[in-house]
Amino acid sequence: MPAFILYGSRGSTNTDRVRLTLAEGGFTDYELVLLDLQKGEQKVGDALILTTSEEHIKRHPWGKIPVVTFPNGFTLYESRAICKYLTRKYSFPLLPPDSDVEATALFDQAESTETLYFADAAGRIAFEKFAKRFMGLSPNEAVVSDSLRSIEMFLDVAERLLHHQEHMAGSSFSLVDIYYIPLVQRLVECGYGDVIVSRKAVSAWWDRCMARPSIQEMVAADKEAAAAGKASAST
């Protein structure tokens, strides 16, 4: 029996946040259950994708992903909460030690910065330019434009900070860097990679992240799975 089940979906940046955390920790004793959001396990409302099965609503009251469930009945949702819980439970080297209160405070500061200043705007672009494509809907270009301006303003500040530190929460790769990675990947996929590569320090940070073996392995595995899926669909 696996240590826990991770419910998620391919193409979900929130699911990938958890998968990256597990990959960085070298943890494989879990089962990934993919919910197929393109085959009726969803509805669209208020710009959110919700899985509507009663079984999943019991796991996540808002019907979203990801969710982890443990054999003892413990269930947790919200990707950042899941990442932090798994890191603590399995002692992944992705958080500062609790004994270092200053480093922990700086981590919390960086974590809040990602959530408040980056993720919302990047998520809106991902929804408009990526998710809507699979729904057969046209993107709201005004939303994309406003969100892109917010991201560029944020990255201008991040550029200054990253001239003095290698990672988003300080000198070491941490969960905060993992929080960024899926949405930055999605921005690149949507054609906005220039916001990263045009800023020297931000681009160097991104290169350091993408050079990590666990991330390279996961990206390669996802590409292989996507190619297999396309081949299966065409036969």
Give the whole-angstrom CA distance, residue 4 versus residue 224: 25
Domain residue ranges in the chain: 5-94, 101-217
Q: Could you list the pLDDT tens digit for every one of the 235 residues in the chain?
A: 999 999 999 889 999 999 999 999 999 999 999 987 655 343 333 334 445 578 888 899 988 999 999 999 999 999 999 999 999 999 999 999 999 999 999 999 999 999 999 999 999 999 999 999 988 999 999 999 999 999 999 999 999 999 999 999 999 999 999 999 999 999 999 999 999 999 999 999 999 999 999 999 988 888 887 776 666 656 6
101-217 matches 5-94 in CATH topology: no
pLDDT for position 48: 43
pLDDT for position 230: 64
Which tens digits make up the pLDDT trace of 200-210? 999 999 999 99
pLDDT for position 44: 36
Domain 101-217 fold is: Glutathione S-transferase Yfyf (Class Pi); Chain A, domain 2 (1.20.1050)
pLDDT for position 234: 60
Domain 5-94 fold is: Glutaredoxin (3.40.30)
- The residues, ordered by sequence, that sit 6+ positions from 163 with a Cβ below 8 Å of its Cβ are 201
In the chain, the DSSP E strands lie at 5-8, 31-34, 43-45, 48-50, 67-69, 75-77
Supply the angle between the helices 79-90 and 175-189 in degrees, to the nearest 10.
140
Supply the angle between the helices 175-189 and 13-24 in degrees, to the nearest 10.
130
Which tens digits make up the pLDDT trace of 117-174? 999 999 999 999 999 998 899 999 999 999 999 999 999 999 999 999 999 999 999 9
